[in-house]
């Protein structure tokens, strides 16, 4: 039972907090319409890009080549008024602000 609970906790932590992102060209298949801003103060989400899939976690985004690999599918729009979320990319992990509920 202890092993089962440990494995379940490991699985949940990897699935819930994994942030593998796929950028789609078809906004109808996107989970979120995103506007990328240069202004941190207007961002709903402040995230950090990572080059390694193994480092993907909440607020750390790894961009996948295939939709089937992704936890979240986004469409990037140039029109801020049509976006579900405004995103700012940071280089500092202390600035990360990410909550799927908000």
Please check whether residue 40 lies inside any domain of the structure.
Answer: yes
Amino acid 53: pLDDT: 73
Supply the pLDDT for residue 18.
Answer: 63
pLDDT at position 87 is: 96
For range 51-69, the mean pLDDT: 85
DSSP strands (E only) in the chain: 20-23, 32-36, 45-49, 60-63, 72-76, 85-89
Name the residue among 10, 28, 23, 12 with its Cα closest to residue 70.
Answer: 23
How many folded domains does the chain comprise? 1
- Predicted pLDDT at 13: 43
Which residues, including other chains, have CB under 8 Å from residue 31's CB and lie 6 or more apart? 72, 73, 74
101 in any annotated domain: no
pLDDT of 101 strictly over 80: no
Tell me if 2 is assigned to some domain: no
Residue 27 resides in a domain: yes
Provide the whole-model pTM. 0.77
- For residues 85-91, average pLDDT: 96
Q: Is residue 5 part of a domain?
A: no
Question: Mean pLDDT for the chain?
Answer: 84
CA triple 12-13-15, angle to 5 deg: 65
- Residue range(s) defining the domain that contains residue 71: 18-95
Tell me if 32 is assigned to some domain: yes
> Does a structural domain hold residue 9?
no
Q: Does any domain span residue 50? A: yes
Confidence class for position 14, pLDDT limits 50, 70, 90: very low
């Amino acid at each position: 039972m202890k092993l089962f609970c440990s494995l379940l906790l490991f699985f949940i932590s990897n699935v819930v907090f994994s942030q593998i992102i796929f950028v789609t060209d078809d906004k109808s298949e996107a989970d979120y319409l995103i506007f990328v801003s240069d202004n941190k103060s207007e961002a709903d989400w402040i995230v950090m890009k990572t080059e390694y899939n193994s480092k993907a976690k909440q607020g750390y985004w790894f961009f996948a080549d295939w939709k089937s690999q992704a936890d979240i599918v986004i469409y990037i729009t140039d029109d801020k008024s049509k976006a579900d979320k405004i995103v700012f990319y940071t280089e500092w992990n202390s600035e990360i602000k990410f909550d799927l509920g908000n």
